[in-house]
Amino acid sequence: MTKTSLFPFVVVSLTVICAVQQARGQSVSANIDASKTGTPISKYVYGQFVEHIGNIINSGIRAEMLDDRKFYNVIPTPPPPSGNGPRFGRVRLRPWTVVGPASAVAMEAQRPYVGKHSPRISVDASEARGIEQSGLVLVGGKSYTGRVVLAGGPDAKVTVALVWGPGVSERQEIKIGRLRADFKKVAFRFDVPASASNGRLQITGTGSGDFSIGAVSLMPSDNVRGFRAEVISVLKELKSGVYRFPGGNFVSAHEWRDAIGDPDRRAPKLDPVWGAVQPNDVGTAEFMDFCKLVDVDPYITVNAGSGDAWSAKDYVEYCNGAPTTPMGKLRAANGHRDPYNVKYWGIGNEAWGFSYQFGAMKLSQYVFKHNAFAEAMRSVDPTIKLIGSGAMADTMTGSKESLNLGNDLIPKPLGPADWTGGLFAHCLENMDMISEHFYNYGGTHYDLSKAQQVPNDPNEPLSTWMRRPANHIRLKVEEYQDYEKLIPALKTKRVPICLDEWAYAGGPPNSYKVVPAYAWSFHEMFRHSDLYQMGCFTFATAMYSANSSQAVLNPTGLMFKMYREHFGTIPVDVTGNSPQPKPTDPPGGEQPAVNAGSDTFPLDVVAAFTSDHKALTIAIINTTDTDQSLDLHLANTSLTGKGTLWRMAPKSLLATRQVGSKPQVEVESSAVNSMPSSLLLPKFSVSIYEMQIK
């Protein structure tokens, strides 16, 4: 935290006496000096990340209920080979199956509506023939809307039906009017009286001749601009500041032009990164709608893998150019005359991933590529903020990508595998922030001596487990300080960190256990608010629990919301009398030279003024499985004695919040009429005090 101006507050000393003495006979105390403040905390550190991976976008936040709605696969689809599912790819698509004889369905490749082919059904007066998709979860009392794109002969009579049970009355049918040779969109609506876990949408025909299906869509009628209403509702509560899109590894083989214009006309394609079929339904326009719905700023990463600088330039112009520019005219033709004015742009994702990233190249070559992209993108909008795809030594070591670019596991400073160092040395004028990533894993940690992830000691202190993500954040601070010594220009042009991928992976889903660890991560960012200016958590869908029609914030989402709403924005200096324990492992990999945390072990304490200086906020994490106490000393501010305490303190680390179950953890609030004479922090609790200032 950078020290700035003094504030002329009256000195007040408030001592909170320990309720429990530490084993060594000394109480832990924290000293908060309101005259020493730091760089304001950016709202963007609470940001989120979404990527076309698994079901995160296509059904996690999108309301579309049908798979393969534009018929990438042949109907009927042959069963996939056993155990050949895509790694991290979208859950295997539900297939379309044939109603009537299989011979009645053919895939027409001569004049498809979109993509490689469209199904053509030969009809007969004696039976219904067509296709259906099952496995739809329907909620009784809800309505569903959709559309189907059809073409056919005048004697083919088509029916669209939604089926929720086996009985004749457990379906609703809509008769389509006379078809024509050219494809036409037809809207429909169904009202479903009963719930079903295996509903079916059928598109069938009778009569004579044939008909073709170009595309079909089905969504709950309460969708919000094509997104799930319940998901939009909970994500909006977070006030996340910024969302990163569309990747992630996905972006390195993605062509942005494939996902603009009429969604029904966007051809589905196999994403080679994750080995999954992508419908291209959520592209630029949809992401902009989504950002407006959840009230955040967009952050777009361009394809610097298989992509080129010209396409990146065109993408910036498509988003930000006037409607008189070539790409602005295309945007206007697609229904969006006004520019989107996207401010934050990332150049590539994990460009350092030499062994797996599409289009990866050596650092000595990539620095030229980054500069070419930056110059091209700024040529159409010089106001944009560019984020370089960095990787400090910790990332290069833990991923072992350092060995693919050099001979040393820990990269030599400014050597061929020091990715961030190379960008700083050769591209400094062409970036405004540096992207950094890290992941910790619930059951393992990185052992530098073994150069791999190893199982955690089952008897390790809880605080050790909780500290790991914060240690990664601290380590990058130490590495950045080393860069400042090696590259003097960084002192005159500071390039803050955009931590646009980070998470503690592998923990129990929707459980509380990761909450203190994530809160500690925030604390470490707040302590270095001059350096950490943006963060995008992996992934936004990890903030909530959901089923097909409901969503609730899980413990992680609640904690993000609690800090965003109740913790201040102007950091205040905190010191203490109980330093964090010294590291037992050598620096490198995941281990900084100095362990993360305030000098208040086993607690972690941060403080900040609200932006209007009307309140002082104090956040305290107990990282242990026993109650802990604290002496608190405040200087250079005067409190009214009035305030509020917000706290998360469940009885179990495995407490959950899940749809359909009673919440086992909440953010509990209580009025504070005066600072208590004894402050006791419950085991593994996260607390925020907000005290009014005179």
Same domain assignment for residues 478 and 431: yes
Do 543 and 396 have their domain in common? Answer: yes
Model pLDDT for residues 578-626, shown as the tens digit of each residue: 999 999 888 989 999 999 999 999 999 999 999 999 999 999 999 999 9
Domain end call among 188, 220, 252 = 220
Stated pTM of the model: 0.93
Q: Is 79 domain-assigned?
A: no
Identify the CATH number of the domain in which residue 531 sits. Answer: 3.20.20.80
Whether 447 maps to a domain, the answer reads: no
Alpha-carbon distance of 144 to 167, in angstroms, equals 20
Instruction: Write the pLDDT tens digit of every residue in 284-337.
Output: 999 999 999 999 999 999 999 999 999 999 999 999 999 999 999 999 999 999
Assess if residue 494 is contained within a domain. Answer: yes
pLDDT at 694: 87
Q: What is the DSSP string of 140-207?
A: TTEEEEEEEEEEE-TTEEEEEEEE-SSSTTSEEEEE-----SS-EEEEEEEEE-S-EEEEEEEEEEEE
CA dist list (Å): 79 to 71, 92, 95:
16, 11, 9
489-493: long-range pairs with CB below 8 Å, 24+: 489/428, 490/424, 490/428, 493/428, 493/429
pLDDT at position 641, please? 80
Distance CA 604, CA 580 (A): 9
Q: What is the amino acid identity at position 675?
A: M
Residues 616, 15: contact at Cβ < 8 Å? Answer: no
Based on the fold, state whether residues 603 and 523 are members of the same structural domain.
Answer: no
Given phi > 0 = left and psi -120 to 50 = alpha, else beta, which region is 110?
A: alpha
Residues 489 and 387 both lie in one domain: yes
Instruction: Give yes or no: residues 134 and 252 share one domain.
Output: no
Contact status, residue 266 vs residue 258, Cβ threshold 8 Å = yes
pLDDT tens string 538-555: 999 999 999 989 999 999
Do 389 and 487 belong to one domain?
A: yes
Instruction: Confirm whether 3 is domain-assigned.
Output: no
Confidence of residue 26 (pLDDT cuts 50, 70, 90): low
Question: Alpha helices of 599-675 — where are they, by DSSP H?
Answer: none
Kindly state the average pLDDT of the residues 260-277. Answer: 94
CATH number at 183 reads: 2.60.120.260
Three-class secondary structure assignment of 433-491: EEEEEEEEECCEEEECCCCEEEECCCCCCHHHHHHHHHHHHHHHHHHHHHHHHHCCHHH
Domain stops at, among 169, 185, 220: 220
Residues 555 and 601 both lie in one domain = no
Number of domains in the chain: 3
The two tokens of residue 383 are 């106001």
For residue 1, pLDDT over 70 is answered with no
C-alpha span between 526 and 564 (Å, rounded): 12
Q: Which helix (H) or strand (E) holds 242?
A: strand 242-245
Domain that holds residue 669: 29-41+572-581+589-693
Instruction: Assign residue 615 the CATH number of its domain.
Output: 2.60.40.1180
Angle value at C-alpha 473, between 30 and 484, nearest 5 degrees = 100
C-alpha 303/C-alpha 301 separation (Å) is 7
Q: Are residues 203 and 295 in the same domain?
A: no
* 231 and 312 fall within a common domain: yes
Q: Does 201 lie in the same domain as 239?
A: no
Token pair in block for residue 614: 């009307």
**Are the C-beta atoms of 94 and 76 separated by less than 8 Å?**
no
> Around Cβ 192, how many Cβ atoms within 10 Å?
21
For residue 182, pLDDT beyond 80? yes
Q: How far is CA 542 from CA 61, 204, 247, 299, in A?
A: 12, 39, 16, 19
* Position 411 in a domain: yes
- Same structural domain for residues 511 and 480? yes
* Residue 151 scores a pLDDT above 60: yes
* pLDDT of 7 over the 70 cut: no
Element housing 517 (H / E): helix 514-527
Q: What HEC string does 24-77 produce?
A: CCCCCEEEEEEEEECCCCCHHHHEEECCCCCCCCCCCCECCCCCCCCCCCCCCC
Round the average pLDDT of the chain to a whole number and report it: 92
Does residue 478 have a pLDDT over 50? yes
For residues 173 and 160, is the Cβ–Cβ distance under 8 A? yes
The letter for the amino acid at 520 is W
Answer with the one of 195, 220, 245 that is the final residue of a domain. Answer: 220
Q: Does any domain span residue 74? A: no
Residue 208 sits in the same domain as residue 244: no
Q: Is position 12 within any domain?
A: no
Q: Which residues contact 88 (CB under 8 A, 6 or more apart)?
A: 53, 54, 274
**Is 617 domain-assigned?**
yes
Here the tokens at position 638 are 């005067």
**What are 470's two structure tokens?**
């914060």
- For residue 628, is pLDDT > 50? yes
Q: How far is CA 607 from CA 30, 40, 574, in A?
A: 10, 12, 7
